[in-house]
A and B are shown apart, each in its own frame.
Chain A
Amino acid sequence: MATRLPEVDAVLLGVGLVGTMLGRELTRAGLKVVGLERGDPRSTVPDFQSPQMHDELRYSIHQGLMQDSARETVTFRNRDSETALPVRRFASFLPGTGVGGAAVHWNGQTYRFQDSDFRMRSRVLERYGAKIMGEDLRVQDWGVTAADLEPHYDRFEYLLGTSGRAGNIGGAKQPGGNPFEDSRSRDYPTPPMKEPYGSALFRRAAESLGYHPFPQPSSNLSQPYTNPEGMELKTCMFCGFCERFACEHYAKSSPQTILLPKLLGDKRFTLRTRCQVLRINLDSGRKQATGVTYVDGAGREFEQPARLVIVGMFALNNVRMLLLSGIGIAYDPQTEKGVVGRNYAYQTVSGAQVFFDESVNINPYMRSGASGTVIADFVSDNFDHGPLGFVGGAFIGEAMSHGRPIEFHPVPPGTPPWGLEWKRAVARHYNHTSSLTVHGSSAAVRQNHLDLDPTYKDAWGLPLLRMTFDFPDNDVRMSAYLTQKAQDIARAMIGGTAGRQVAAAPRKGPYTITQYQTTHNTGGTIMGADRSSSVVNPYLQSWDVHNVFVIGASNFPQNASYNPTGTVGALAYRAAEAIVQRYLKSPGPLVQA
């Protein structure tokens, strides 16, 4: 029997990046807010400190900061005809947990999607006609434009202190920045990070081929910075323990370093950790949420009434929460009826390796999570897709984040997988190898989707989320084409020098959950201007239950070429603005269906 608690103005499901941002905006508007976080409370001191944090086995291999798959995982299959089975240990993607969420262990790559991404369907049809879209492709427009989001991207970057070089300020191209970016209102808050050696070699090779390299925008900071909230960040030390780790230096933008202490100091905010939300409760008409039911760390069940419900968990968990709560109609890939769970997409990641001779010292351990140099020449619709037969693109770059040797010990193709020759090759190549990333978009298709598993349950007895996914043919073609482009740059990096070689492999199906690729899982609660093909409106408000807002990469109708966090942050600020300026004054649908 659940204990009923006093009603609050708003409840946050998850206190990660989105929860912290929304909590701050709502308390500032005078609301009384409760944040429910399933994991532990964590602070830079003492939780993230060295030397314990520099432990590859604990944090990277054994996933010390991640969702515990023993209690809560997903089931997976490549296609509907198979039986989904549980991901018994996370590997392909690694959802985070705990206060601060995945923004504690992220790398800090902070991009803006392009206007051509937000209007993907319209743009492709205008430029190429319907033929380029295969019959299964379900790419959509987002219901927002880059101009709509610009102020919110700007605000988010200044919250984080992102280090980068603008390519386009108010329509004026800026030397050294990304020439393909949409107009931004001002430069990044801090200048680009130092450029590591491998990145510099990539830059020179890319320039020699006529491309337009620029420093990757990074929320590991190039210099000390005080953000508009008054939070002070410090300079990144290039320690090489960033992604999958928390930052000991106050140099990576995460809720703990940019905002959370301010929120925790506000009397209108209450944080409750070790609280697992079971469902959002609805009124009898199922048009309004009345609050949530959760279980605390001791196993006691509570009902927390709230007038406003902010769903700000990891993308996959956002989708599951709506399905468990019966908000919106679940998507059926056969009939294409229903919307919750549709347009699940991922990221099509591949790479090339550049094996130098021993005169080139890459020193791979001297890296930050987001340092590096990239090109946008093949991002989004920045190149002519007409003759190519696919939509979407990729950024290509040298953006290595570490040289931790359990994970990183590259050997050239043809090396025996173990034994003396393997050991000698590892010793020979470890410090003389550079890796290029091809960070590809992911198109939504009819058959890739999320729903509830009929068999497997979590530790609270609730159905696991079921993922049905394989790489669409469109994306396999894209990866083949762009991995070849990366290979060409890699060849330019080695020149004609003897004792050097290049290896590259495009992404191919079937998608497997056994190998780490990326944690950029997107879609399932997608946004749009048309309620028949989206779960939330362009302000991220549920079409079905107007006091539920769902915020995260689960809003993406398909995934773009860039890392998602910048866009999640911009969407979150835009939703917060709509709630504070419009919804609170007149609760109800912000967009008429």
Chain B
Amino acid sequence: MNIFKIACIAVISITVLSCRKYVEEVPVQGQRVLVYTTDYRLLINNKNDSEVGSGNSAILSCDDIDLKDSVLQQYFSADMTDVTMYTWGKPFYVDKMDDYDWNAMYKGIYTYNTVIAGVLDSKGGSFDERNAIYAEALIQRSFTYFTLVNSYAKQYDATTAATDPGVPLLLEAKLFVNLERATVAVVYAQILKDLQLAIPLIPVTQVNSVKPNRAAAYALLAKAHLAMRNFSAAQQAAEESLALTSTLYDYKTFVGASKLPFPRLVDNREILLRKISRTSYSALQLSDDLLNLLGSKDLRYTLFTKNGSTFWQNFSGIGYWAGNGTDGSNVGLSVSETWLIRAECLARSGKRDEAVKMLNDLRKNRFLAADYKDLSATGDQQALEMVINERRREFFGTGLRWFDQKRLNKDPFFAKPFTRIYNGASYTLQPNSNAYVFPLSSLIVNQNPELIQNPN
């Protein structure tokens, strides 16, 4: 055989194999780099990243809860973090413990920042589609920063917000940047800016409450203004939201003989944006104060409480039980909350009759016809108090009350100390106490010393 012929064959056969394109095949099916609009859509659809709202700390700290039963107290003592939250102490997280609420919310922010940075230049989607995803990420980021700044920083106060430390404001998906806390004013400014950018771009309707629609964006805007005590802006935003959606369920249809199943949070038309709390504790004994306010005729009592003897760790008393009516507690945005924001703003601006009418319209859906009675107010302050009480009845057990307690410290009428007895010791929460500002975990403070811890 001709040597050269064989050599040629050998050389050709060897070089045939050498094509570097060969190794540009995607290694793991189901792993992609972000290129197409659909990639970003999948990312913003991630429920696990976005569903975390306020957590255990808010639920255990608020005055909905009063763990009076001694057996329950003993059982509850197993977790020092829970005990510290319940007794308004600090720190919650010692040594190397993670604050999973904080971690989960910032994980979400990384995802939103990734989407915000890339979706507008992505391939394959329509202009509207890209904008809608962009707006969705902005709203989710706003909500998350709103929760963070309300949990870990002082209540917004126009006089001190420019100097009060807020939370690290990360607007890019980047590691190793400075984590200095932006001021409360800067964080709120970002929240409002993002919402204003998002509102014209976000669709009016969404597939379900995991994703924010335009009413949700207005609702969040209303909530943010309410927290900033800009009541006229809050009222205006709430009205924009209610104009889009004002569905309120009639709870009568969920009790009694017909026993219709309560819709899951995700399908609940009253919910504008579903967020849940990472609750780890199920036996939440409700305070007498709340139970008196609620009364036993209220359908919210029927649906969302349960006798303490039926809990895993049984106790004497009444416990909060989201599971009776639905699949969890929503700590996101809802029509009823927006409804009550508008009512509060009306009451605060002297329109007490309008405010009370709103309350009555809501309450008609919360009682059996036989048990329903109209409310009426004789003074503006009384009307405002009625709204706040209605908020307690509507949102008990979810921890939203904690943020009301914190917010209302700025109203001299509502600013009052709270006291609870635990394991024989008495604990008091003074108005505007540092306990209203949750501590950061010492782990993240140690990792980045520019991150200043909240005072004890």
A and B are interacting partners: no
B residues within 8 Å of A by Cβ? Answer: none
Chain A residues proximal to chain B, CB less than 8 Å:
none
